Structures are given as structure tokens and as C-alpha cells.
Amino acid sequence: KLQAQLEEVTVQAEKRVAQLALKSALPIPDLPRERSFNGACPSCKKENTFEMVDRPGETRKVVCEFCRGAFNAHVLAGHQVLTRAQIPSTLYRVGGVVVVGGGSIMDAKNVLQMKQAWVDPDRIRALIPIIVRCDSEMKKTGLARSPFSLQGTIFRFIDAQNPGLLGRIVVRRFLTLVLQGRGFKPPDGVLMTRATSYVNDLEENSLLSAFLTACIQRIIQVVELKDDDSAAIADLLLDGHFPTARSEVRQLIASNSKHVKFTQKVLDNNEPLHS
């Protein structure tokens, strides 16, 4: 009976925090639209025009209208596009499942999707201010702040404001990545879990930095990333919303590459499987 009463007190407190956070409306970002881009074919060097969603990290296959060769086009921040020659597809093992690769940027997104760790940048942009606001209100009201209680507060906030804005899977997934990227700081000598109270105030920069850390650690276990992939990977993950994302991704790639043993190296023939 006492446990049930405690749970009811927690739920009511979280509802109150969500109501307080609702006092000032959050802007809902517009979704990106398709537009025309111009990019040179890596094979024949002639300029092509093609339609793509204007969102950094967006990737599509383009067939050259002149030489009929295929190449990949990647949208970067600042409405820029990068074209790269296609490389032979590689099959990677992710948790026992075979993933078809098509170059570092496409492979990175595939790996995150297979590991249930992909969060669309537009959803992140909408979620970050909600997390910061709910965390602040929880601290003001004296409610114990743990990743799990924060998640419950965010659910109630979203349900009250705009149920269609963000799904619960998105919230759970992003908070899990922040937790694994060490975005929540426990008291000294305490192991951080979903139920552990954290002591730091949540801010946009620290949340996004932890998110990037967890994503790069997942990707680099399967896909070999290089320094010149950092800009495209940063844009893929954060859509240009984080000014230092490119430099941070570059550092993460460099530091993780030294310690990782790529999954494809443990295949029977010690080589990637080619399709």
C-alpha cells in the first residue's frame, strides 16, 4: 500500500511539472521541403540537376543524365550538396542481421536504424527545448530527477500540448542515447542508471554532445569512418543545429577509431562480404 501511495505522489508531481512547463508554448519547427540542387557527376564531371529534401544529412542515388553513371548526393548545411562516386556495396553484420552498405554516410544511418538508435534531426530540434524545460521545472519543484522520471514528465508535457508532435519511441530513444553518452551525471561514486538521480542541469550543448558520442560509438563498431566523413556525418545526425558538431564528430571518430575492433574483421574470412 505504501509503495502504491509513493507511486501516486510521483505521478501527481510529474503531472504538475508538465503543467508548469506548458505555461509558455514551444514553437513547432517546419518540416523541410524538396528543392532542386546542382551537382557535378564524379565520373564525367558534368553538372546535373536533381530534386532532394533540403535537410543536411539527406542522401540519394542520382543517375547522371549524361554518362548514365550512378553517384551519391549528400545534402550539407547551408543548402550545399556533396556528390561522391558510388562504391561497391558491402554487407555488414549488426547484431546478427546483415546490413547492406553504400558508402560511409548511408552505412551510418543504416547501422543506427538497425540498432534502433536513429532519431530524425527535426525531432531532436523539437525535443531538446522540451527536455531542458521539463528538467528545469522538476528541479524547481524538488522532484527527484532521474532519466526515468524525466521521461514520464516529458510524456505528460507532450500529451497535454500536442500529442502528434513527438512519439514516445523518439523520446525513449533519445534519452537512452544521452544516458549512454554520459549526458546525465550521477553523484560521486554512484553508477548512473535510468533510475539514478542526476545532479547536472540539462542544457542543449551537453545533450547534443552526449547524443553524438553514443551515435558515433555505435556506428564506428561496424563502419570504418574517416576524418573527411565528419562533416557529412555531423549533418546527417544533427541537421546543422549544433555549431560545433563537425569538430566534435571529428574528435570522436579519431578517439574511437584507436580502440575499436571493426565487426567485419571477425568474419570467417576476415574480409567484408561483398554483394
- Ranges 94-98, 107-111, 184-188, 245-249: which has the least confidence: 94-98
pLDDT for res 38: 94
Kindly report, residue by residue over 54-85, the tens digit of the pLDDT. Answer: 887 788 888 889 888 888 888 887 888 888 87
What is the number of residues in the chain?
275
Name the residue with higher pLDDT: 103 or 33: 33
∠ CA 84-86-91 to the nearest 5 degrees?
Answer: 130
Name the residue with higher pLDDT: 53 or 151: 151
pLDDT for res 31: 54
- Ranges 17-26, 138-147, 249-258: which has the least confidence: 17-26
Whole-angstrom distance, CA of residue 89 vs CA of residue 107? 10
Contact of 274 with 90, CB cutoff 8 Å: yes
Mean pLDDT over 226-254 rounds to 87
Name the residue with higher pLDDT: 19 or 224: 224
pLDDT for res 167: 85
| CB crowding 56-66: b at 16 or more within 10 Å, else e | bbbbeebebee
Helix and strand numbers, DSSP H then E, in the chain: 8, 8
Report which residue type is found at 28.
I
pLDDT for res 240: 79
